A and B are shown apart, each in its own frame.
Chain A
Amino acid sequence: MAETVDSTPCGALIIGGSAGSLDVLLEIFPALRNDIGFPIVLVIHRKASNESLLTDLLKSRTTLEVSEAEEKEFLSPGKVFIAPADYHMLIEEDQSISLDYSEKVNYSRPSIDVTFQSAAEVFREKLVCILLSGSNADGVEGLKSANNFRGRVVIQNPNTAIMPYMPQQAVLNVEPHLILDSHDMADYINKLND
């Protein structure tokens, strides 16, 4: 495993998850400090119809501002942006958000790969990607990009994930900086910019 202490400031944290990741988010969010110094982006697979459910759930668990991402909106520190159901979400060079209704990737829209890949190029070594529980292989290619651009890759411990397949595929294909259990994640995130 690569070095675990990293003094590069975090420019953006992107969390990708699928089946079994909601429990992790609900564990992480109440424990996050309220002065987080970077934007948090969530790309979570879910049904197209459950539009605001995830946003509402997370809002009730944190003092951070949580909203579904709007196109052309700028990422800003201390805010949580959720990739809307049924759209891919990309990050532009100026850190604004582009939405895209193109073909599904890994049977998914939003696809975790798409957001990881575009953010990797923008934030480079300042990007932190966390991949959570899930039952398909979305996220792996995106983590590779993050690695190529020297971003940090954190993967949920497949042994304790509700659905181990997604983090397992990531561990097999990408060298992570860290493998974390869900109960250690909030602490990790809180200390990112210390």
Chain B
Amino acid sequence: MISDAIDNEQVEILLNDVLESHGYDFLEYSHASIKRRIIRLYGLDNFVSFAEFRYTVKTDKQYFKRFLEEITVNVTEMFRDPSFYKSLRNDVLPVLGTYPFIRIWVAGCSTGEEAYSLAIVLKELNLLNKSLIYATDINPSVLDKAKKGMFPLNYLKQYSENYLQSGGLKDFSTYYTANYSLAKFDESLNSKMIFSTHNLVSDHSFNEFQLILCRNVLIYFDKDLQHKVFNLFDGSIEKLGYLALGSKESLEFWPKAKEYKRVKMEKIWRKL
């Protein structure tokens, strides 16, 4: 990858075009990260000039779909950070289990691995039937994948190890059927999921939840945008509800952080 194929000014021009022509606002994303994604895509798709790249992104609706999918990071995993899922299983979900109905928002769900992980834990705690998981992402094409609940079979060994480390009680393979190179997850899991596009930058709160899970999404936002999103979450979490973030993300510098209490050592906070 030629790291200086596109300069800072061109990044800004491109992102302004994207906002004007397509309505997606990436201007408050962490600059170094988004610039790297843009240069990566420019190289992958063999553009010969910035002008050509800019014109295509601006005018070609079909190409913009690809742009959106490649510019955002969609790398995810089932039961990523097993100790986090252990804490959900032991400390958070049993508390929510005392409610008549559990509403959970997985914000920035990408291809759905976290939503399915959560559904598995809920099922093992006998809570899935009274839960509803809202899984949202900015990107319609990853949501199509998430709805299908099919993940590459070659990752399943790692997922299975993660699951066992997180306190999983069963043989992980009982949750899916192998189909060529894919593992198709049990339909009882996504029967309790609602998939929808939602842009954390521009869309508003749409419900109240007892748990919001948003992991490894905020690292791509600058500090101001992070705080805006925390405010959005704050307006979407019930009193005594929980907010769960990625292993390197924190509420720490957000002005309202003192209204939240950290759950043990994990990146989980409870609204007071």
Stretch at the interface among B14-22, B57-65, B176-184, B215-223: B215-223
Interchain CB contact under 8 A, B248 and A92: no
Interchain CB contact under 8 A, A98 and B219: yes
Q: How far is the CB of B176 from chain A (nearest CB, A)?
A: 23
Q: How far is the CB of A179 from chain B (nearest CB, A)?
A: 23
Given A70-B250, A71-B248, A71-B249, residue A100 in contact with residue B33 (CB < 8 A): yes
Interchain CB contact under 8 A, A141 and B3: yes
Across the interface, which residues of A come within 8 angstroms of B31, CB to CB? 92-93, 98
Q: How far is the CB of A10 from chain B (nearest CB, A)?
A: 20
A118 vs B40: C-alpha distance in the bound complex, in angstroms? 13
Binary flags per residue of A121-141, CB closer than 8 Å to B gives 1, else 0: 100000000000000000001
Interchain CB contact under 8 A, B4 and A100: no
Interchain CB contact under 8 A, A100 and B8: no
Chain B stretch 1-17: residues in CB contact (< 8 A) with chain A: 1, 3-4, 8
Across the interface, which residues of A come within 8 angstroms of B250, CB to CB? 70
A52 vs B117: C-alpha distance in the bound complex, in angstroms? 26
Q: How far is the CB of A127 from chain B (nearest CB, A)?
A: 13
Across the interface, which residues of B come within 8 angstroms of A148, CB to CB? 4
B169 beta carbon closer than 8 Å to chain A: no
Q: How far is the CB of A151 from chain B (nearest CB, A)?
A: 12
Stretch at the interface among A11-19, A33-41, A83-91, A156-164: A83-91
Prevailing SS type, chain B contact patch: loop
B37 beta carbon closer than 8 Å to chain A: yes
Q: How far is the CB of A95 from chain B (nearest CB, A)?
A: 11
Across the interface, which residues of B come within 8 angstroms of A99, CB to CB? 219, 248
Across the interface, which residues of A come within 8 angstroms of B30, CB to CB? 90, 92, 98
Q: How far is the CB of B5 from chain A (nearest CB, A)?
A: 11
A21 beta carbon closer than 8 Å to chain B: no
Nearest opposing residue in chain A for B220, CB measure: A100
A18 vs B158: C-alpha distance in the bound complex, in angstroms? 23
Across the interface, which residues of B come within 8 angstroms of A141, CB to CB? 1, 3
B147 beta carbon closer than 8 Å to chain A: no
Across the interface, which residues of B come within 8 angstroms of A64, CB to CB? none
Across the interface, which residues of A come within 8 angstroms of B95, CB to CB? none
Chain A stretch 133-183: residues in CB contact (< 8 A) with chain B: 141, 145, 148-149
Across the interface, which residues of A come within 8 angstroms of B8, CB to CB? 93
Nearest opposing residue in chain A for B165, CB measure: A49
Given A100-B73, A101-B216, residue A118 in contact with residue B32 (CB < 8 A): yes
A93 vs B216: C-alpha distance in the bound complex, in angstroms? 22
Chain B stretch 218-258: residues in CB contact (< 8 A) with chain A: 219-220, 223, 226, 246, 248-250, 253
Interchain CB contact under 8 A, B36 and A118: yes
Interchain CB contact under 8 A, A70 and B4: no
A100 vs B71: C-alpha distance in the bound complex, in angstroms? 12
Name, among B1, B36, B37, B223, the residue most crowded by chain A CB atoms within 10 Å (CB to CB). B36
Q: How far is the CB of B210 from chain A (nearest CB, A)?
A: 26
B51 beta carbon closer than 8 Å to chain A: no
Nearest opposing residue in chain B for A114, CB measure: B36
Binary flags per residue of A25-45, CB closer than 8 Å to B gives 1, else 0: 000000000000000000000
Across the interface, which residues of A come within 8 angstroms of B246, CB to CB? 101
Q: How far is the CB of B94 from chain A (nearest CB, A)?
A: 27
A149 vs B4: C-alpha distance in the bound complex, in angstroms? 10
Across the interface, which residues of B come within 8 angstroms of A149, CB to CB? 4
A101 vs B248: C-alpha distance in the bound complex, in angstroms? 10
A-B contact pairs, 11 of them (CB 8 A): A71-B219, A84-B248, A90-B30, A90-B33, A91-B32, A98-B32, A101-B216, A114-B36, A117-B1, A117-B3, A117-B36
